Amino acid sequence: MANMSLRKVPMPEQDPDVRNKNFSEVSLGYTKEMAMEEATRCLNCKNKPCVAGCPVNVRIPEFITKVAAGELEEAYDIIKTTNCLPAVCGRVCPQETQCEERCVRAVKGESVAIGRLERFVADWHMEHSTKLPEKPAYNGHRVAVIGAGPSGLTCASDLALLGYKVTIFEAFHTAGGVLVYGIPEFRLPKALVQKEIDTLTALGVEVMTNMVIGKILSIDELFEDGYEAVFIGSGAGLPSFMKIEGESLVGVYSANEYLTRSNLMKAYDNRYDTPIRQSHSVAVVGGGNVAMDAARTAKRLGAENVYIVYRRSDAEMPARREEIHHAKEEGIIFKNLNNPVRIHGDANGQVLSMECVEMELGEPDASGRRRPIEKKGSNYTLDVDTVIIAIGTSPNPLIRNTTSGLDTNSHGCIVADDNMATSRPGVYAGGDAVTGAATVILAMGAGKKAAESIDLYIKSQTDSGRHRDRHDRGEHRDRDGRDRRS
Amino acid sequence: MYKIVSKRQLNPTVTELAVEAPFIARKARAGQFIIFRIDEFGERVPLTIADYDREKGTVSIIFQIVGKSTEMLASLEPGDFLLDFVGPLGKPTPVEGFKKVCVIGGGVGCAIAYPSAKALFEAGAEVDVIAGFRNKDIVILEDEFRKVSSHLYLTTDDGSYGEKGFVTDKLKSLIDAGNNYDLVIAIGPVIMMKFVSKVTEPYGIKTLVSLNPIMVDGTGMCGGCRVTVGGETKFACVDGPDFDGHKVDFDELMRRNTVYKAQEQKSPDHVCRIGLGGQKNG
């Protein structure tokens, strides 16, 4: 008999007034007892709606059944068959709009805490298991992956499991992409990301850091070097600004810069040399997860007043409810239905204040959300010394500018079909580089799909190559010249 | 890890290091830059590529000690390693199709002016170089410049070497003497680049300046290096670092470059790691 409690087993968390002064993880994770209790809430439905709601189709009821039985390593193995980053997904996936939204238990009461259980299983494995995955036998084919973010890591992992020799080229000095430069330590500890990447290298994936593709090597050169297919998972790293007066004042950051300084470069830790502004009052412009991350980081770095300035209302906010809730608990002040007009500076070009105007909602716009309209004459000044612009990012132009025959759309996104194939044969793309800024799990789903497509592509090339070889030389060999008849 | 293969002290505070980085050496062109990080705790610091040797697979950087990271960099010796060395970043300086060019370097900016002068010279342009320094003691790269220029004009502020005066004075006199430059390249302190651009503007001579704003990633991701050029926001790391000197908002750049100055100066908690023992600084 299932546990019919209408509520999830609550997640233990650091107290808001304590955690808003440190960078340790906010959510502390279930104990084994809590996890086993929560797992008994799963009805193990026949048609498994949750699995269809997951972009990488984690076998959810199966792993939860193992958790309920206390067979945690078995639960981990089930998750790992489709998800190479469970410790990450258990923390940052918007489960409430994916697997958990479709959970039958959510019809009456709260869904099963799928995300929390996934996190628990992944953490338990990292803590208790020293077992590394076995390196699959090399199938004789090499694939290049550009970008060590969620899509690239997933694509590389799936290809490595199929026997491909995969090299990931990462522009930064550390692999992880947005998982290390964007998402703060207090939501996703970087040591966990590193462990997930270590698992990948144990599979034989090579990660080359400090390699800015488009500069140090072009995609054409990767093919010349013998890679048979390329996956582009270069993300959406180019920050948008508002193009308002005062955006070049000292003290105005893109959220990318602010978060990169704090997360990747660890400016919050005084053992590290990278500086970050010591602010008293901070305005973060935007209403997404990145805005929440920037605001909560600013608070932790010591700012007394931190404002979220968002032009629509709470209902339209794209951030996860959990992030908004956590931000409010930590003392972030929400100024919804407010829009920046200009930023004022002092004689030295330092930010003094931000002029805002109040907004109201009109008819729905193209996005389906009600269009924000300025309330005439409602301008006022918010005293801040730092402004962080978190209104979105678009794909970095470095690759599209240096790759001929690669189609992109008017937003600079790489055009890829349902199989993640681009306009160039052998070149696949996925994640934010294709969709524009989206979620970790959607990028992972794209990386997974691309891995399948690349496998099919290389097999088809090899088959036709083998036909040619047989025709030409009466034998068949692979590209390295090894006899494949065995 | 990137091995330092040679080191040369150009003057008491300016050092040249050649670093083993074969991939970068293969692609590097004049005007592009690298970003280095000394160790796990270090900042990412951009430096323009001073020279490269495609066969040996080395890239040279020349830098002045201006803060902690450059001080630590200067303390490294051949055989030591840099943790990170990424590049070549930014767009190369255009060198094709010019007849007569004046390349101006100010102080350590000469290190960046040198590869441009060399590339232009090798591309067949007549190259005049004006290299300006505060005084004789800090003159660098004199022999190197001589090899890649038709004329080398050295100036010092105090007249202790070469001609006394500023590079702008020399440039103006060369233009007025009838030198028809179709390009002027100015690399040095922001204030120098600003005034060189002011000198050339009335003559309508195309003028490129190489900007050095604060940046983190160098690939267009942080936007920290944004500069206003002709009223538009540009990212120096991907749109530059060379820009039309007649359009750059130099005053804004100077302000933006001071953003962490106060913090650098008043950081009593800052533990200096240079002396290995860990001393309090300031």
Distance CA B150, CA B146 (A): 8
User: What confidence tens digit (pLDDT) does each residue in B170-186 have?
Assistant: 999 999 999 999 999 99
Per residue in B135-172, pLDDT tens?
A: 999 999 999 999 999 999 999 999 999 999 999 999 99
> Residue A280: is its pLDDT beyond 60?
yes
Residues A46, A62 contacting (CB under 8 angstroms):
no
Helix residue ranges per DSSP H, B142-242 = 142-147, 167-176, 190-200, 236-239
State yes or no: pLDDT of A191 exceeds 80.
yes
Residue B246 distance to chain A (closest CA, Å): 19
- Please compute the mean of the pLDDT values over residues A447-468 and round it to a whole number: 85
Nearest to A340 by CA among A241, A432, A457: A241
What is the pTM (predicted TM-score) of this model?
0.91
Residues of chain B contacting residue A271, judged by C-beta atoms under 8 Å apart: 41, 271
Mutate to test the interface with A, among B33, B69, B216 (most CBs of A within 10 A): B216
pLDDT digits (tens, 9 = 90+) for A385-405: 999 999 999 998 889 888 999
Chain B residue numbers touching A239 (CB-CB < 8 A): 221-223
Q: Can you tell me whether residue B104 is helix, strand or coil? A: strand
Please report which confidence band the pLDDT of residue B273 belongs to, taking 50, 70 and 90 as the band edges.
Answer: very low
The stretch A159-172 carries a mean pLDDT of 97
Is A171 in Cβ contact with B87 (below 8 Å)? no
Residues of A in contact with B253 (CB under 8 A): none
Residues of A whose CB is below 8 A from B256:
248, 250, 349
Task: Give the tens place of pLDDT for each residue, A205-225.
Answer: 999 999 999 999 999 999 999
**Contact (CB<8Å) A250/B233:** no
Q: What angle do CA A466, A468, A473 make, to 5 degrees?
A: 95
Q: How many CA atoms lie within 13 A of B117 on its CB side?
A: 30
Distances (CA, A) of A195 to A123, A132, A350, A486: 10, 11, 41, 37
DSSP A341-355: EEEEE-TTSBEEEEE
Q: Can you give the pLDDT at residue A2?
A: 80
Q: Is the pLDDT of residue B205 over 90?
A: yes
Contacts of A398 in chain B (CB under 8 A): 219-220, 238
CB contact under 8 A, A248 and B86: no
Decide if A16 contacts A331 (C-beta within 8 A).
yes
Q: Are the beta carbons of B41 and A397 separated by less than 8 Å?
A: no
Tell me the CA end-to-end span of chain A in Å, nearest whole number: 53
Pairing state between β A252-254 and A386-389: parallel
CB contact under 8 A, B255 and A348: yes
**3-class secondary structure, B15:** strand
Q: Distance, in angstroms, between B24 CA and closest chain A CA?
A: 6
ipTM value of the model? 0.89
